[in-house]
Structure formats: structure tokens, C-alpha cells
Amino acid sequence: ETVMTQSPATLSVSPGERATLSCRASQSVDSSLAWYQQKPGQAPRLLIYGASTRATGIPARFSGGGSGTEFTLTISSLQSEDFAIYHCQQYNNWPLTFGGGTKVEIK
């Protein structure tokens, strides 16, 4: 099983600042990496797939990068609606696996 590790667990950021979230895979997943945003009481929402492709309707302030085992999600200028939990997920290997999540909170 491919273990996904996200860091940090919690990121405190002021509105308007940049946030960089990390996701590491225990083995290569090529570019088969997706990011999701989840707000309390809601289902996750797909942000990024293919490590760097924004899903339909996702603002340009969200960008993804990396390949192999190291990935990042960057939010260039945090808006109030961006404070949430972010999950990465690999889909190169079965079973599909998620990281433990990074909570982005208001500083």
C-alpha cells in the first residue's frame, strides 16, 4: 500500500498570505496525485488532479506541483473561503490512498 504523508498537520496563515502544503508518497505515484478541499460538515471538493491540473471552476490561486514522491499545493493569496482541510490522494496504485490532511486555519 502506498502511504501518503501530509505536512504540516496544521498551517496558520493570515488572509492574503501564501500557503504551501506538502504531500509525500512512500513510493512513486508518477503524477497520479489529486488534492481535495473539505469544509466542516461538507463533502470534499476536487481541486487538482494529475498533480498540477486544476479541476473545473477552481480559481487560479490554487496550484499544484511535483511528481514521483513529493508534491505541493500552493494557495497564492488566501481568501476567507479557503480556510479548510486539504487532502491529497494518490491514484497510481491500488488501493487508492489519502494523506491524513492539512488544516489551514486563520492566524
Partner 1 sequence: QVQLVESGGGVVQPGGSLRLSCVASGISFNFYGMHWVRQAPAKGLEWVAFIQNDEGINYNTESVKGRFTISRDNSKNTLYLQMDSLSVEDTAVYFCATNSGYGPHFVYWGQGTLVTVSS
Task: List the end-to-end C-alpha distance of the chain, in Å, as a whole number.
Answer: 35
Q: Which of 11, 25, 34, 73 binds partner 1 (CB under 8 A)?
A: 34
Residue span binding partner 1 (CB under 8 A) among the ranges 13-21, 59-67, 72-80, 87-95? 87-95
How many angstroms separate the Cα of 70 from the Cα of each of 2, 22, 55, 62, 79? Answer: 13, 7, 20, 17, 26
Contact segment (CB under 8 A) with partner 1 among 13-21, 58-66, 74-82, 92-100 equals: 92-100
Instruction: Select 76 or 101, whichever has its Cβ closest to partner 1.
Output: 101
How many Å apart are CA 17 and CA 34, to the nearest integer?
Answer: 23
| Contact mark string toward partner 1, 46..75, x via CB under 8 A | x--xx--x-x--------------------
Instruction: Name the segment binding partner 1 (CB under 8 A); options: 20-28, 61-69, 72-80, 97-105.
Output: 97-105
Burial 86-100 (b: 16+ CB within 10 A, else e): bbbbbeebeeebebe
